[in-house]
Structure 1
Amino acid sequence: MEHVDLLIIGAGQSGLSTTAVAARTGWSRPLVLEAGSDTAGSWPAYYDSLTLFSPARYSALPGHPFPGDPGRYPARDEVADYLRTVAKGLDSDIRTGARVTAVRPGPGGAFTVQTGNGERYAARAVVAASGAFAHPHTPDLPGRDSYGGRQLHSADYRTPADFEGARVVVVGAGNSAIQIAADMAPLARVTLATRAPIRWMAQRMLGRDIHWWTRYTGLDIAPIRSRLAALPVSVLDDGTHRKALDEGGVERREMFTALTADGVVWADGTREAVDAVIWATGYRHRYPYLAGTPALDDQGRPLHRLGVSTTVPGLGYVGIEFQRSLASNSLRGAARDARHVLTRLRRVARRR
């Protein structure tokens, strides 16, 4: 069994953010275990037109500035390449193709970590940074299993060319739903299905990007998780997407109540045949490797305070939505959360 001080699960944006601040919080050369074959997380698998919602200057990992214009919004492939480059420059041991299957707290506070290929590790501290983007969520509506059209999550959407001439319903009121609907509008007949009206937020205010303002006001940094979780979903836009929806004839309708064999039943009771339903309904965090430990509640959710486990000493999390701030599950916020978590895990390790 190999022994390490700090073991990080996941080499996507959250895992790399944690690795980037490890040395600054007293941890030397962490071991990073990544289930996939890449160090770009879920970014290579996102849809073709995706761009960051925050400018490059606010999206860089500590000590690794984004190349190019700091005011631009990097595209999907740029972000993936950036993460790969960062991974190569980190003082860490990153191992791909190493899916963690079990993490077990042991006597004296040490953890035993096992991978699917039979490797075992002993670690003083573990950070679960495997993210939510591998676990798409879709609501369980009546008729979903009997619907005969095409049905996919936004995680599986790539290009509007696949839906040319089709009647499509995009479910969701967040940034991804709006981007996908705008992307498809020139080629397909698209409707946005939402439970509430779309809330638009200006990308720029008084000449500055909204992310400058969230930092200036402290909203992007302060640990105000309980209040943030109650905020309604808003869509950042500089006017481009709203214009694309209008020009493409994309309407917004109240969320449908059920699916039929060939379409949907709208809230007003009318039925309509549709060719495809795209669920832009987010993701859920899942930690199957912690199943059977005190780390999770009976719904499989982590028991933590600001990313530090409240039930298993030495265990932390990075990349949970609203973990500490508005930016917690993003490139611009994961490193700040990681610094907080690793500092506290270091204190626990010193007491052992």
Structure 2
Amino acid sequence: MTRRFQVVVIGGGQAGLAAGYHLRRLGLDFVVLDAQAESGGAWQHPWNSLHLFSPAAHSSLPGRLMPHQTGEAYPDAAHVVAYLRDYEKRYELPIQRPVRALGVHRDGELLRVETDSGTWHARAVISATGTWWRPFLPAVPGRAHFGGQQLHTVGYRQPRDFAGRRVIVVGGGNSGAQIAADLAHDSELTWVTQRPPRFLADDIDGRALFDAATARRRALDQGRTDTGGVASLGDIVAVQPVREARDRGLLKASPMFTRLVAGGVEWADGTRAEVDAIIWCTGFRPALSHLAPLQLRGRRGHIATVGTRAVAEPRLHLLGYGDWTGPASATLIGVGRPAREAARETADLGA
């Protein structure tokens, strides 16, 4: 079956919903294709203790404030899922799920979206698939020879799964610090980072991070000196569990090991540690395999954009993958503005 719309949005998480909100306001004929069976995007899948960095009122998509979660200053993932479910119903967003996009192709004046449920044609495509679905694992010597358990952030759920075990958490970002704090009480934890961890000041949360990212983008757009954005403040938001573990001396980072061996890891000086499990909190890459037929990636795998619009294919917009597709666009509060710009530009294609 072939269907035709003005715009096809690929991805039904927070970025796809924000795009849908603005497309609806502009009166465009569009559809949102979501590979997930249920509402909530990647928020359905993180570890059990994950909370937002910001209060609910500062974690909202356009048009609808996130309600306060009783008993929680910073909402948990389940609250976010409920909010996103309500959001798509409130605005009657036309979401098809589960529909997995397999490839986007040029087809004359239109773009053709091939999926596991048929074919869609559109004047424009907004890709909003995020990064959760493409975890990154570094090439560390000996990883294939390690005999213990290995998993990425996406596979971690709760500390009781590792109680009493010797665990290494790799990564000096937020996920690494939060999972290390989660495990610090009931397991034999070693936290390793490429460089000494940089904690943000305890009073800084997602609101300040959004302001910093926005100020950096504004400075760059105006040709002024790069402010450094969020990276200038630090790497780790000191949420309450992280603060408590840090202040109790449970979050002491060790340098990165140089290789894995059958029973554990080895550092540059020859020191070894026996390990039962390694959790790689080493980040993600944009999930863009569905765009491969367009052949837009440069030498480093990056798709060049102006704002959200792909330079080499102006009918394509990329939304929610990070600052390169809009300041703080991978966050709930930050995705609204680039979503509005992407929707307006797709509307202009038919003007």
Q: TM-score, normalised by structure 1?
A: 0.90
Give the aligned residue type for 2:152. H
Q: What's the offset of the Cα at 1:262?
A: 0.9
Native 8 Å contact 1:102 1:113 kept in 2: yes
2:70 pairs with 1:74: no
Give the aligned residue type for 1:124. R
Question: For the structure 1 residues 213 and 43, does the alpha-carbon distance in structure 2 shift closer, same or farther, using more than 3 Å as the test?
Answer: closer
Note the residue ranges of structure 2 that are not aligned, 5 or more in a row: none
Deviations 1:217-269 (A, max 9, x none): 95377374975486575111156413314536342111111111110112332
1:114 counterpart residue number: 114
Q: What does residue range 2-17 of structure 1 map to in structure 2 within 5 Å?
A: 2-17=3-18
1:222 counterpart residue number: 218
Note the residue ranges of structure 1 that are not aligned, 5 or more in a row: none
2:56 counterpart residue number: 56
Give the aligned residue type for 2:65. P
Question: For the structure 1 residues 131 and 272, does the alpha-carbon distance in structure 2 shift closer, same or farther, using more than 3 Å as the test?
Answer: same
Moved more, 67-76 or 7-16: 67-76
Q: CA RMSD in A?
A: 2.4
2:207 counterpart residue number: 211
2:142 pairs with 1:146: no
2:266 counterpart residue number: 265
In 1, Cα distance between the equivalents of 2:210 and 2:43? 24
Question: For the structure 1 residues 17 and 220, does the alpha-carbon distance in structure 2 shift closer, same or farther, using more than 3 Å as the test?
Answer: farther
Question: For the structure 1 residues 224 and 236, does the alpha-carbon distance in structure 2 shift closer, same or farther, using more than 3 Å as the test?
Answer: farther
Native 8 Å contact 2:50 2:76 kept in 1: yes
Q: What does residue range 12-27 of structure 1 map to in structure 2 within 5 Å?
A: 12-24=13-25, 26-27=26-27
In 1, Cα distance between the equivalents of 2:209 and 2:168? 34
In 2, Cα distance between the equivalents of 1:132 and 1:217? 19
Native 8 Å contact 1:14 1:129 kept in 2: yes
Deviations 1:184-209 (A, max 9, x none): 1110111211111111112426xxx5
Question: For the structure 1 residues 47 and 308, does the alpha-carbon distance in structure 2 shift closer, same or farther, using more than 3 Å as the test?
Answer: same
Deviations 1:135-161 (A, max 9, x none): 111101000111111110011100000
Question: For the structure 1 residues 214 and 127, does the alpha-carbon distance in structure 2 shift closer, same or farther, using more than 3 Å as the test?
Answer: closer
Equivalent residue of 1:331, what SS? coil
Q: What's the offset of the Cα at 1:327?
A: 1.4
Equivalent residue of 1:136, what SS? coil
In 1, Cα distance between the equivalents of 2:34 and 2:152? 23
Q: What's the offset of the Cα at 1:298?
A: 4.7
Question: For the structure 1 residues 79 and 210, does the alpha-carbon distance in structure 2 shift closer, same or farther, using more than 3 Å as the test?
Answer: closer
Native 8 Å contact 2:213 2:230 kept in 1: no
Q: What's the offset of the Cα at 1:348?
A: 2.8
Question: For the structure 1 residues 309 and 182, does the alpha-carbon distance in structure 2 shift closer, same or farther, using more than 3 Å as the test?
Answer: same
Question: For the structure 1 residues 3 and 329, does the alpha-carbon distance in structure 2 shift closer, same or farther, using more than 3 Å as the test?
Answer: same
1:309 counterpart residue number: 310
Aligned length: 344
Native 8 Å contact 1:202 1:210 kept in 2: no
% identity of equivalent residues = 34
1:31 counterpart residue number: 31
